[in-house]
Structure 1
């Protein structure tokens, strides 16, 4: 009897398997809300919160309220006209710093607020930065874990309502007076390396500072975790959740970010590290992922580190490194 019952159970399972498969297929098509993964709802909630806490657009500042002191030319009509253009400037001749030649002051400014790696982070309605603890971006450990927790600041996490303190060592000098601000502010953008672990952060940075400040940026360092199923149209078709990816992990945000980078006219050094949970099964997905990077042709140094194995890439405007590829020694080239 026991053997007969076992055979009957096996036969019943074989007979019911097609019915069970049909039922799962029907439920997937007609009841997507019931089968929607919890991760999809979390992605949507996180996206909505990030949108609500996005930095404010750059305000339109009247010319007479410009913080930077304009250089007065010999053709100025009068001293009064120059003061109206500049606004009120207090006499700083008593300051020991201002008694130094401009060339020496600029060396001091650069040593104080330049030649560092600035990790840019999202805060509530604004951006912040954390100065890297390592001298160069190359020395900074993977995922910037030495400088701050990636779980706190990455695009996979929520923006905290009260983030850790930032902006503590550059802004005080710039806020001392208008003359110091005017003489020093360019060094912030032209000599520092700006490091990003969030595509939204880079896009907001380009739109929340003055265009001529953004044009001064020469060095970028980007670490980004690519999300499945980006550029995998087959996988996106069979997924139940819609959309398959929320910004900033979607294709539109990825391509828009690289359009912004490709328009940076003074960009000299660009280092990109891309991480992925697995290997691209279809090589065309990887090709579409890297296609926007081919628009960037200005940097003298453009390295892309891919954290997954694959075929060698030799036809791009960048040097591609994979885990199996011996990465070049960058010690002779500074990333500061």
Structure 2
């Protein structure tokens, strides 16, 4: 008797809930058919795990001194009396035609060879790479990231991922040619490996170029795999990010069967960590962010949660954010927002670099 009552109750509940479930499926299929796909399917997990195995190795907490890096002048007096391990031989380059030029001319050569370009940063197998944009400015760049694999790892069309072509932009050969980019003034400086300076050219690579990212992990790896003092030289950033549903939508995430709802780098933690890194950049002067979301945020509260980490950044003189969905005007923000159909979007007056 008890089993019969339980079955009757279950059937009654099913009949009562069926209309609501059918209505939800119909509305979802009409308004947002792409959302019916289980977002946390095994394919997302496999892509995340593969990216983890291919991630570049970050620098240690206290990175060792590199053989190609020369000391600053203010470090000479501090380390003169301390025994130091040899860091390579600094040879006399006074006979070099380049070193015989005045410093101002050498700096112009370094900047022309290494700087004033757009560098599209890409994630490769166990390391990062970059492609030097053929356009002279980021405004003229029409770069399409069609050469990425489904894991968003750089792989040129028709080329196997295990043997991709070089992506150094013909920049590294100049930097690897010689450690000594400034002629020593005394014989004592020439013979000592501890009294040399940083090269004259390396700073132009980071301070004058615009670094473009279409992957949040790539930006995070870049900041973690170069020396902190060089990361602090970066002045221009361009970020393009395709937002994945259901980011910052707790109701939608609760309805999903999969856990987690989003895998890095498409989750909230990666997004917030990226802006924590950007907010601590001491030399940032120009920043452009392009955010793409296939149907936008229906809840203004979710959009505000997405934009909240960006409000930590207050240093850049030019900070523009392009949103591909409509919405209300954003007030009290350190950035200028551009939305479709607005005057700012139709007639932007950005300061391009």
TM-score (norm 2): 0.77
> Are 1:308 and 2:325 an aligned pair?
yes
The answer on 1:231 being equivalent to 2:242 is no
What's the offset of the Cα at 1:36? 8.6
1:31-57 per-residue CA deviation (whole Å, 9 max, x = no partner) reads xxxx99486111100000000000012
Residues 1:298 and 1:76: Cα distance change in structure 2 (over 3 Å): closer
1:211 aligns to 2:208 (yes or no): no
Matched, 1:127 2:128: yes
- 2:121 and 2:176 map into 1 onto residues whose CA distance is 20
User: Which of 262, 282, 287 lines up with 2:304 in the alignment?
Assistant: 287
3-state SS of the aligned residue for 1:179?
A: coil
Verify the 8 A CA contact 1:57 1:208 in the aligned structure 2.
yes
Distance 1:173 1:154, change over 3 A: farther
* Number of residue equivalences: 304
CA distance in 1, matches of 2:316, 2:323: 19
Which has the higher mean CA deviation after the structures are superposed, 272-281 or 67-76? 67-76
Structure 1 Cα separation of the partners of residues 48 and 90 of structure 2: 44
Aligned residue for 1:177, secondary structure, equals coil
Residue of structure 2 equivalent to 1:58: 59
SS of 2:180's equivalent in the other structure is: helix
Call closer, same or farther: CA 1:39–1:235 in 2, change over 3 Å: closer
Q: Deviations over 1:213-239 (max 9, x none)?
A: 000001100000000000000000001
Aligned-pair CA distance for 1:70: 2.3
**C-alpha distance after superposition, 1:181-227 (max 9, x if no partner):** 81111000000011000000000011100000000001100000000
Extract unaligned runs of 5+ from structure 2. 1-11, 23-35, 156-160, 182-197
CA distance in 2, matches of 1:82, 1:93: 28
**Equivalent position of 1:149 in the other structure:** 146
Contact 1:224/1:274 (CA < 8 Å) preserved in 2?
yes
Q: d(CA) in 2 for partners of 1:128 and 1:267?
A: 22
Query: Is residue 334 of structure 1 aligned with residue 352 of structure 2?
Result: yes
Cα shift at 1:315: 1.8
Label 1:245 to 1:18 Cα distance change in 2 as closer, same or farther (>3 A). same
Contact kept in structure 1, 2:38 and 2:256, CA below 8 Å: no
The answer to whether the aligner puts 1:245 opposite 2:262 as a matched pair is yes
Change (3 A) 1:82 1:114: farther
**Partners of 1:127 and 1:213 in 2: CA distance:** 16
The answer to whether the Cα contact below 8 Å between 2:39 and 2:262 also exists between their aligned partners in 1 is no
Which sections of structure 1, spanning at least 5 residues, go unmatched?
Answer: 1-14, 26-34
Q: CA deviation at 1:69?
A: 2.2
Tell me if the contact between 1:195 and 1:222 (Cα under 8 Å) persists in the aligned partners.
yes
| Dislocated runs of 4+, deviation >6 Å | 77-86
Tell me how large the CA RMSD over aligned residues is: 3.2
Matched, 1:324 2:324: no
Post-superposition shift, 1:322? 0.5
CA change 1:21–1:73 in 2 (3 A) is: closer
Greater fraction of residues in helix: 1
Deviations 1:49-93 (A, max 9, x none): 000000012155544x54222244698599999997774111212
* 1:134 shift after superposition: 1.2
**CA deviation digits over 1:281-318, x for unaligned, max 9?**
11111010000000000000000000111111132110
Relative to 1, partners in 2 of residues 1:62 and 1:249: Cα closer, same or farther, differing over 3 Å?
closer
Which stretch of the first structure deviates more once superposed, 165-174 or 66-75? 66-75
